[in-house]
Chain A
Amino acid sequence: MMSGCQSVKPYQRVYLNDPEMQLGSSSGKKFEGYVESVREGATEAGGAKSSGGCGCN
């Protein structure tokens, strides 16, 4: 994977630095991730919740 990657110069980072290009989640998406971890049997990797709250309502 790494051998197929191009070197990115600091002045070429305009797209990569855009907030929408970040791999993290917004607060709204985190809340939905919390709901999904309760209403589905699986917990998503990198998700908001693995435990810490019963979610049993």
Chain B
Amino acid sequence: MKKKYLTAGLLSFLLFNAKAQTADSSYQERTVSKTDIELVYSHYIQDGNNSAVTGGKGTEKLTVYAPSVKIVHNFKEYNTIRFVGGADAITSASTDKIDAVMSSASRKDLRSYATLNYERKLKKRNLTLGVGSGFSVESDYLSIPVSVSSEYVTPSRQQTLSISIQAYFDDLRWGRINSDYWWPVRLIYPGELRDTVWFDNYRRTSYNLKLGFTQEINRRLVAGIFPEFAYQTGLLSTPFHRVFFKNTRQRVEKLPAERYKLPVSFKVNYFLGSRMILKFNYGYYWDSFDIQANTFELESAIKTSAKWTFTPFLRFYHQSAARYFQTFRQHLASETFYTSDYDLSGFESYKAGINFRYLPNRKVAKRIFFDEINLRYSYFYRSNGLNANILTLSLQFSKEKTKLRGAI
């Protein structure tokens, strides 16, 4: 009898102990890897009447269909791989006027791009180091970017310092996505100006130094300052932009072979009450073409519930004209550099729109979550008449891999 009780007691102890082991607080579920996937579609419709292809006078009608994907994979706690890839299908009325042949081939273009970055957080130093590269290819353009970056977070987590150095190696020859060549052949000039070799260089190289300093000022306020320095050299003109002179002579746009840029921006975010976040951004810009610009941007994110956030926003921008810019037939033949590209003219631009954000927080499959939907619309208007409608839809998913581990 005693034996029976002892055996039953021993069994129940073992069973209880085995159950207790899994529920033991010294064992916990830990994330060993996490993958965030974002699917994005942007739609851009533009209209205007100052195309640089036709010398500053002519249609700028343009539609861009731009799907893209972003994948961020975190693994072994300290490593992050980031991939961004996409393709912009472009329908442009102005590029159809590079030559007299009106064709669907010159009317349509495709820009494909991909970048891959690797970041590693150093365990003890609150320091993250990163490297990255990729490509961007169009019928008349190839760009290879290379970057290195570093970010330091202070032990209090209230300040961050970041530095990034980027270089872009570009080739402006046409022919890569033409079925007759599949290879860079030559620079494309306007049809009637192809009897002259306007440029002997087809390369453009850009170097950017980007700095960032952010500071949490109190538990509701964060600010950041982001100064940059950029240097470009090589062919900075667009070889199929026409310029018409006062004496009716016509040439291809010509800009200096070097350009320095100094942009700086200052950002402040403030959490007002328990439902509203105010975001302010001011940017200043100067470059060696004599363009000076100021940007003011205000957003207010309003959380109407735990799942919904509405963010109306406004942006105002002003720039002075580049010293090489003149309108149609206003350039003098004696000028060394000349352009009628209205992107380099003096103007103001205005942008207004709204972003809807919804957090479904729903499990859609084993370990896969549907995290976020964003729908953003904006209207862009430039004081010289160019206007655009921009719509972006993004869907965010995440996948987590967890493991049971004993506490250390």
Residues of A within 8 A of B (CB): 1-2, 4-8, 12-16, 18, 20-23, 26-29, 31-32, 35-36, 38-47, 50-54, 56-57
Residues of B within 8 A of A (CB): 38, 40, 42, 44, 46, 52, 62, 66, 68, 70, 90, 92, 94-95, 109, 111, 113, 136, 138, 140-141, 143, 145, 156, 158-159, 166, 168, 170, 172, 204, 206, 208, 210, 212, 214-220, 222-224, 226-228, 230, 232, 238, 240-241, 261, 263-265, 267, 269, 271, 277, 279, 283, 285, 287, 289, 291, 293, 295, 301, 303, 309, 311, 317, 319, 322, 343-344, 349, 351, 355, 374, 376, 378, 380, 382, 386, 388, 390, 392, 394
8 Å CB contact of A15 from B92, B158, B271: B271
Contact B390 A42 (CB under 8 A): no
Interface centre among A6, A26, A35, A45 (most CB of B within 10 A): A45
- Evaluate whether A44 and B295 lie within 8 angstroms (CB atoms) in the complex, with A2-B215, A23-B267, A35-B44 already known: yes
Contact B271 A21 (CB under 8 A): yes
CA–CA, A28 and B390, complex, Å:
9
Residues of B within 8 A of A18 (CB): 271, 277
- Evaluate whether A20 and B264 lie within 8 angstroms (CB atoms) in the complex, with A1-B215, A7-B156, A45-B210 already known: no
- Evaluate whether A50 and B208 lie within 8 angstroms (CB atoms) in the complex, with A15-B220, A32-B378, A57-B109 already known: yes
- Evaluate whether A8 and B141 lie within 8 angstroms (CB atoms) in the complex, with A31-B42, A41-B344 already known: no
CA–CA, A48 and B40, complex, Å:
15
Q: Least Cβ distance of B182 to chain A in Å? A: 19
8 Å CB contact of B222 from A21, A28, A35, A56: A21
CA–CA, A6 and B158, complex, Å:
9
Residues of A within 8 A of B283 (CB): 42, 44-45
CA–CA, A36 and B227, complex, Å:
18
Interface centre among B46, B218, B241 (most CB of A within 10 A): B218
Residues of A within 8 A of B279 (CB): 20
Contact B92 A57 (CB under 8 A): yes
- Evaluate whether A54 and B263 lie within 8 angstroms (CB atoms) in the complex, with A5-B218, A27-B374 already known: no
- Evaluate whether A40 and B378 lie within 8 angstroms (CB atoms) in the complex, with A18-B277, A23-B269, A35-B388 already known: no
CA–CA, A20 and B299, complex, Å:
11
- Evaluate whether A23 and B392 lie within 8 angstroms (CB atoms) in the complex, with A7-B156, A45-B263 already known: no
14 contacts between A and B (CB under 8 A): A2-B159, A7-B158, A26-B394, A28-B40, A31-B40, A32-B376, A32-B378, A42-B291, A46-B226, A54-B140, A54-B172, A56-B141, A56-B241, A57-B62
Q: Least Cβ distance of A35 to chain B in Å? A: 6
- Evaluate whether A8 and B158 lie within 8 angstroms (CB atoms) in the complex, with A40-B349, A46-B212 already known: yes
Contact B355 A15 (CB under 8 A): no
